[in-house]
Structure 1
Amino acid sequence: MNLPFFIARKYFLSKRKRNFINVISLLSLGIVAICTAALIIVLSVFNGLEGLLRSLYTAFDPQIKIEATEGKSFIYSSEMASAIKSTEGVDIITEVIEDYAYVRYRDADMVVIIKGVSDNFLDQNRIDSAIVGGELKLHENGLNYAIIGRGVQYTLSIMPGTDVYPLQVHYIKDVKSGSLDPSKLYSRKNILPGSVFAIEKNYDENYIFVPLNFARELLDYGDKRTSLEVKVKDDYKINDVKKELQEKLTAQFKVQNNEEQHADLYKLLNLEKLFVFIAFSFILAIGSINIFFALTMLALDKKKDISVLYAMGASNALIKKIFMAEGAIISLGGAFLGLILGGTICWLQQNYGLISMGMETSVLENYPVRMALNDFIYTSGSIIFITLLISYRPAVIATRYNSASNL
Structure 2
Amino acid sequence: MSVEASAARTPLAGAFGGFERQMAWRYLRARRKQGGVALIASIAFLAVMASVAVLVIVMSVMNGFRSEFIARVLGVGGHVFVTTAGFSPSEASAARDQIALLPDVVSIAPLIEGQAFATVRQGGTGALVRGVRREDLERAAFRAVDERGPGVACPLPAPTAGDAVGCFTEGGLYRFEEGAEAIPRVMIGYRLAQSLGVRAGEQVTLLTAQGATTAFGVAPRRKSYEIAGVFDFGHALYDQSLVYLPLDEAKLYFNRGDSIDNFEIRVRDPDDLTLVKRQIAEIVGGSFLVLDWRDQNDTIVNALAVERMVMRLILMLVVSIAALNIVSALVMLVRNKSRDIAIMRSMGAERGTILRIFMLAGAAIGVGGALAGAILGVVFCLNIGPIQDFVARVTGADVFNSEVYFLSRLPAKIEYWEVALVSGWSMFMAFLASLPQAWRAARLDPVEVLRFD
**Pick from 183, 205, 212: which aligns with 1:167?**
205
Gaps of 5+ in 2: 1-30, 146-165, 393-397
What corresponds to 1:32 in structure 2? 48
User: What secondary structure, in the 3-state scheme, does the structure 2 residue paired with 1:214 have?
Assistant: helix
Q: 1:249-306: CA deviations, max 9, x gaps?
A: 23744352x5665344234234333333333333333333331111112222333443
Are 1:243 and 2:275 counterparts? Answer: yes
Kept in 2, the 8 Å contact 1:135–1:194? The answer is yes
Kept in 1, the 8 Å contact 2:76–2:140? The answer is no
Are 1:102 and 2:120 counterparts? Answer: no
Are 1:156 and 2:206 counterparts? Answer: no
**Pick from 169, 188, 191: which aligns with 1:132?**
169
Are 1:323 and 2:323 counterparts? Answer: no
Distance 1:341 1:157, change over 3 A: closer
After TM superposition, the structure 1 = structure 2 runs for residues 65-76 of structure 1, keeping only pairs within 5 Å, are: 65-68=80-83
| In structure 2, C-alpha distance between the alignment counterparts of 1:154 and 1:300, rounded to whole Å | 69
After TM superposition, the structure 1 = structure 2 runs for residues 102-251 of structure 1, keeping only pairs within 5 Å, are: 102-106=117-121, 108-127=123-142, 128=145, 129-136=166-173, 137-139=176-178, 141-162=181-202, 165=203, 167-172=205-210, 181=216, 184-199=218-233, 200-222=235-257, 224-232=259-267, 236-238=268-270, 243-250=275-282
Kept in 1, the 8 Å contact 2:211–2:253? The answer is no
Distance 1:313 1:155, change over 3 A: same
Kept in 2, the 8 Å contact 1:146–1:195? The answer is yes
| In structure 2, C-alpha distance between the alignment counterparts of 1:73 and 1:301, rounded to whole Å | 84
What corresponds to 1:265 in structure 2? 300
Kept in 2, the 8 Å contact 1:146–1:193? The answer is yes
| In structure 1, C-alpha distance between the alignment counterparts of 2:372 and 2:42, rounded to whole Å | 12
What corresponds to 2:7 in structure 1? none
Number of equivalenced pairs? 378
| In structure 1, C-alpha distance between the alignment counterparts of 2:239 and 2:266, rounded to whole Å | 23
User: What secondary structure, in the 3-state scheme, does the structure 2 residue paired with 1:398 have?
Assistant: helix
Gaps of 5+ in 1: 1-14
C-alpha displacement of 1:106:
4.0
| In structure 1, C-alpha distance between the alignment counterparts of 2:330 and 2:212, rounded to whole Å | 77
State the identity %: 23
- For normalisation by structure 2, the TM-score amounts to 0.71
**Pick from 354, 357, 374: which aligns with 2:387?**
354
C-alpha displacement of 1:31:
2.4
Kept in 2, the 8 Å contact 1:354–1:366? The answer is no
- For normalisation by structure 1, the TM-score amounts to 0.78
Kept in 2, the 8 Å contact 1:102–1:171? The answer is no
User: What secondary structure, in the 3-state scheme, does the structure 2 residue paired with 1:296 have?
Assistant: helix
Distance 1:315 1:375, change over 3 A: same
Q: In structure 2, give the amino acid aligned to 1:383.
A: S
Distance 1:67 1:78, change over 3 A: closer
Distance 1:160 1:340, change over 3 A: closer
What corresponds to 2:62 in structure 1? 46
Are 1:92 and 2:127 counterparts? Answer: no
Kept in 2, the 8 Å contact 1:92–1:124? The answer is no
| In structure 1, C-alpha distance between the alignment counterparts of 2:114 and 2:222, rounded to whole Å | 14
Q: 1:329-348: CA deviations, max 9, x gaps?
A: 11111222222233233334
Distance 1:180 1:244, change over 3 A: closer
Q: In structure 2, give the amino acid aligned to 1:196.
A: V
C-alpha displacement of 1:203:
1.0
Aligned-pair Cα RMSD in Å: 3.5
Q: In structure 2, give the amino acid aligned to 1:99.
A: G
| In structure 2, C-alpha distance between the alignment counterparts of 1:96 and 1:273, rounded to whole Å | 34
C-alpha displacement of 1:311:
5.2
What corresponds to 2:379 in structure 1? 344
Distance 1:131 1:16, change over 3 A: closer
Q: In structure 2, give the amino acid aligned to 1:244.
A: V
Distance 1:297 1:184, change over 3 A: closer
Distance 1:166 1:101, change over 3 A: closer
Q: In structure 1, give the amino acid aligned to 2:169.
A: V
Q: In structure 2, give the amino acid aligned to 1:382.
A: W
| In structure 2, C-alpha distance between the alignment counterparts of 1:227 and 1:22, rounded to whole Å | 68
